[in-house]
Amino acid sequence: MIQALQWDELRSLWRGIEQRNTPGWDQGKAFEYLVLRAFELDGADVRYSYSVKLFGEEVEQIDGVVYCSGLACLLESKDFTENVNVDIAPIAKLRNQLLRRPASTLGLIISRTGFTDPARHLSYFSLPQTILLWSGEEMKYALEQERMCDLLLLKYRVCVEDGLPDYDVRERDIP
């Protein structure tokens, strides 16, 4: 269903997500798939949600993987029914998942509502497992600009140059 949507339909779905009105979607899935489809429309290779088995047992649920601009990112999407910010638990979980991946793999957590201060602080100390935080307002901006990959690359560059995993991409023009 999501792969039939183009930019205008994604922006419409975003408005539905913000209004908590996404009939036909399980809780949180509309947001998760919107993020992946937006990257896909911008030219990224994506893998939609899947589970990982180890020794015959499921050990991980991955919301998705994004490959763009030479970056490989494990994606975690958070869209809570209540308007609460994401706490440290998803960051700690993603950090552990990254420990089982090549060192160059990034973590990307996109939260519709944002992050608590402890979660933001933990992201600063997750290195060398780099976890970039992306807010709902940044997601809305990215949908308006239709430039997911450029904004991801900007966020990554600022993290490399300034050590800021929670840099707000709305603060700087894209080169």
pLDDT digits (tens, 9 = 90+) for 46-77: 999 999 999 999 999 999 999 999 999 999 99
- The correct answer on CATH 3.40.91.70 for the domain covering 2-171 is yes
**Which residues on adjacent β-strands are paired with residue 133?**
109
Q: What is the pTM of this model?
A: 0.93
pLDDT in tens, 152-167: 999 999 999 999 999 9
Percentage of the residues of the chain whose pLDDT score is greater than 90: 78
Domain boundaries, the chain: 2-171
Burial of 40 (0-12, 13-18, 19+ CB in 10 A): buried
75, 63 Cβ separation under 8 angstroms: yes
Does residue 98 carry a pLDDT above 90? yes
